[in-house]
Amino acid sequence: MNAATETFAISSATRQFLERKHQLFIGGKWQNAQSGETFAVIDPATEARIATIQLANELDIDAAVAAARKAFKGEWSKISSHQRTRLMLKLADLIDANMQTLAELEVLDNGLPMMLAQYTIAGYASEFLRYYAGWATKIHGETIPVSPMGVANGESLTYTRREPVGVVGAIIPWNAPIAMFVLKLAPALATGCTIVIKPSELTPMTALFMCDLIKQAGIPDGVVNVVPGIGTVAGEALTRHEDVNKIAFTGSTAVGKKVVESALGNLKKVTLELGGKSPVVVFPDADVQAVTMGAIRAAFFLQGQNCMAGTRLFVHKDIFDQVIQGVAGIASQMKLGHGLDPATQLGPLISAQQRERVMAYIKAGKDEGAELVCGGEAPGGKGFFVKPTLFTHSHQNIKIAREEIFGPVLYAQSFGDSDLETIAAEANKSIYGLSGSVWTKDIAVGHKMASLIDSGQVSINCHAAVDPAIPFGGNKMSGWGREFGKEGLEPYLKTKATTVIFSQPPF
Ligand code: NDP
């Protein structure tokens, strides 16, 4: 029994769902995993088991891909774009109607505080579906004025059609489970693709609950298949599968490279949303209070297990001490606890392994001579907690300034009155290029600096602005392609050009 569900009230719907048998969702039906293998899902704040799920292997992936292919060729291909819009809107309404259950499951599964879980569901997941529901009816090709094979102008017609790419394999991580689920699902549904989603086995609960809602919304069987499993087994089987047309992967850069190799067999399309080590650049005229709160959010949102996290803080020397004092003052007072406790500001990390990884980075920071300003400890007792940690004063080349930690660890350094190119060159000293922010009241400095930062997304006077319409994705080793917005549809579509000639060509 989980102490948290005894201490804090959870809805009877959540309780009932947790007590259910958790199978794989293939072809619209709940099915046992063919190996019979199971996995205990843990509440990271209490280390207690909250559910036992079935684990997919290669055979289950084969079955899920076959179900997705059957639906793609069958019923789904006959459904109009208007109907797809309606189904997606219905699913969005069902998400809102079940917000509390989804939020409770997300908190118990991932550890994030309740308020953030509610936001990722009502403020993000359902809105994301609604945004892409609107696109379903606006996907179209073009007519192109050409004269192929020498035919006279006006004697031919060439047009393009945008067709769904086919069966999509989606592999998602544990850091924002329902957000990642919807991020892959919405463009697939809008474009008329079918999808096999492999959530992380650490956080499968909201993905499994979504299957009930998908069924209730009336989305045909086989359009969405959900198969939690181990990455090196189920994930790899999906990326290698010869009947999958596209992989949408979110995860680490190291695994992203493996995904590319596995996809070579049938040259399936691949989009990659990978790691980050994003800069937060603060000029001396910035509003110190706004910067302080912004830096805290940038570094510690989702306990720092956030690909967009602003983990390299560059502050002009004139306000460096003020900003550091402000960040340390708030960070050291942040309340760590169970996400179901309304007072909690920071939850646990996802697993003991992740906590060890983060603590090893903290040790490396100390060993390499960085000054520890606050945090740096894992409190004892149950739960995979790490205190929000701030380091300063070292040279930038130390490990904690270079590598993605994926935990609540911020590294700050100051800069002087250099030109913007020099400051940008420091900010760009990273293999990653996912996000970043610039803080200043000077619009010229803000825009110029934003243009110099080599990242897929830069925000001015906020960090990591997220909206379904804002394209998102990485430069350098942060990935391939973009998600969100109109651009987010592209990887789910292919173009067919058709030409008709009205008269005989001259040769
Ligand atoms: P991983 O790369 O370890 O795992 C991501 C997913 O890939 C999981 O479902 C995992 O399964 C699966 N996987 C693991 N090995 C393979 C394989 N060989 N073939 C196919 N799939 C595999 O990342 P984490 O789960 O640790 O997530 C953290 C990483 O994700 C961070 O680096 C972070 O930056 C990145 N991320 C990027 C985002 C972005 O939008 N750019 C957003 C969120 C996170 P399993 O769980 O079984 O290992």
- Is residue 1 scored above 70 in pLDDT? no
Distance 292 CA to ligand 1 centre (A): 30
Q: Is residue 220 within 6 Å of ligand 1 at its C-beta?
A: no
Distances (CA, A) of 161 to 142, 149, 153, 186: 7, 21, 22, 20
Kindly provide the b/e burial profile for residues 293-320, where b requires at least 16 CB atoms within 10 angstroms of the residue's own CB: ebbbebbbbbbbbbbbbbbbbbbbeebb
Quickly state the pLDDT bin for 384 (edges 50, 70, 90): very high
| Nearest-atom index, ligand 1, CA of 483 | 40
| Nearest-atom index, ligand 1, CA of 479 | 41
Average pLDDT score, the chain:
97
- Is residue 459 scored above 70 in pLDDT? yes
421 catalytic residue (yes or no): no
Which of 417, 462, 458, 451 has the alpha carbon at shortest distance from 434? Answer: 458
Q: Three-state SS for 469?
A: coil
Give me the pLDDT at residue 144, please.
Answer: 95
Q: Which amino acid is at 371?
A: E
Distance 174 CA to ligand 1 centre (A): 8
Give me the pLDDT at residue 6, please.
Answer: 73
Number of alpha carbons in the 13 Å side-chain half-sphere of residue 268: 28
Work out the number of other CB atoms within 10 angstroms of the CB of residue 193: 25
Residue with the smallest CA separation from ligand 1 atom 14 is: 231
Q: Is residue 232 within 6 Å of ligand 1 at its C-beta?
A: yes
Residue 425, φ and ψ in degrees, nearest 5: -60, -40
| Cα 427 from Cα 476, distance rounded (Å) | 14
Give me the pLDDT at residue 29, please.
Answer: 98
Q: Are 453 and 428 in contact (CB under 8 A)?
A: yes
Q: Are 318 and 325 in contact (CB under 8 A)?
A: no
Quickly state the pLDDT bin for 88 (edges 50, 70, 90): very high
Residue with the smallest CA separation from ligand 1 atom 21 is: 235
- Is residue 424 scored above 90 in pLDDT? yes
Q: Are 337 and 344 in contact (CB under 8 A)?
A: yes
Give me the pLDDT at residue 396, please.
Answer: 67
Q: Which of 109, 255, 404 to mutate to test the pocket of ligand 1 (most atoms within 8 A of CB)?
A: 255
Q: Is residue 258 within 6 Å of ligand 1 at its C-beta?
A: yes
307 catalytic residue (yes or no): yes
| Nearest-atom index, ligand 1, CA of 239 | 20
Q: Are 241 and 211 in contact (CB under 8 A)?
A: no
Q: Is residue 113 within 6 Å of ligand 1 at its C-beta?
A: no
| Cα 482 from Cα 421, distance rounded (Å) | 26
Which residue in 201, 307, 374, 483 is the catalytic one?
307
Q: Is residue 434 within 6 Å of ligand 1 at its C-beta?
A: yes
DSSP per-residue letters across 256-273: HHHHHHHHTTTT-EEEEE
Q: Give the pair of three-digit tokens for residue 364.
A: 């490396």
Sign (positive/negative) of CA torsion 265, 34, 208, 215? positive
| Cα 124 from Cα 241, distance rounded (Å) | 31
Q: Are 229 and 60 in contact (CB under 8 A)?
A: yes
Q: Which of 37, 41, 171 to mutate to test the pocket of ligand 1 (most atoms within 8 A of CB)?
A: 171
Q: Give the pair of three-digit tokens for residue 42.
A: 């843990």
Distances (CA, A) of 52 to 305, 368, 464: 24, 42, 35
Number of alpha carbons in the 13 Å side-chain half-sphere of residue 142: 4
Q: Are 106 and 99 in contact (CB under 8 A)?
A: no
What is the per-residue pLDDT across 315-369, written as a single tens digit (0 to 9) for each?
999 999 999 999 999 999 999 999 999 999 999 999 999 999 999 999 999 999 9
Work out the number of other CB atoms within 10 angstroms of the CB of residue 253: 18
| Cα 408 from Cα 390, distance rounded (Å) | 9
| Nearest-atom index, ligand 1, CA of 354 | 26
| Nearest-atom index, ligand 1, CA of 262 | 19
Q: Which of 61, 196, 252, 455 to mutate to test the pocket of ligand 1 (most atoms within 8 A of CB)?
A: 252
Report the pLDDT averaged over residues 170-180: 98
Q: Three-state SS for 498?
A: strand
Burial of 105 (0-12, 13-18, 19+ CB in 10 A): buried
What is the per-residue pLDDT across 133-154, written as a single tens digit (0 to 9) for each?
999 999 999 999 999 988 999 9
Q: Is residue 171 within 6 Å of ligand 1 at its C-beta?
A: yes
Work out the number of other CB atoms within 10 angstroms of the CB of residue 342: 10
Residues 6+ apart with CB under 8 A from 99: 118, 121, 122
Task: Estimate the share of the chain in helix, then strand, then coil, as percent rounded to the nearest 5.
Answer: 45, 20, 35
| Cα 36 from Cα 19, distance rounded (Å) | 18
Burial of 458 (0-12, 13-18, 19+ CB in 10 A): buried
Q: Is residue 274 within 6 Å of ligand 1 at its C-beta?
A: yes
Q: Give the pair of three-digit tokens for residue 458.
A: 């830069």
What is the per-residue pLDDT across 232-291, written as a single tens digit (0 to 9) for each?
999 999 999 999 999 999 999 999 999 999 999 999 999 999 999 999 999 999 999 999
| Nearest-atom index, ligand 1, CA of 434 | 41
Q: Can you list the alpha helix ranges (DSSP code H) found in 205-287? A: 205-217, 236-240, 253-263
Quickly state the pLDDT bin for 310 (edges 50, 70, 90): very high
Q: Is residue 455 within 6 Å of ligand 1 at its C-beta?
A: no
| Cα 209 from Cα 215, distance rounded (Å) | 10
| Cα 479 from Cα 433, distance rounded (Å) | 9
- Cα-Cα-Cα-Cα torsion 126, 128, 129, 135, nearest 10 degrees, comes to 150
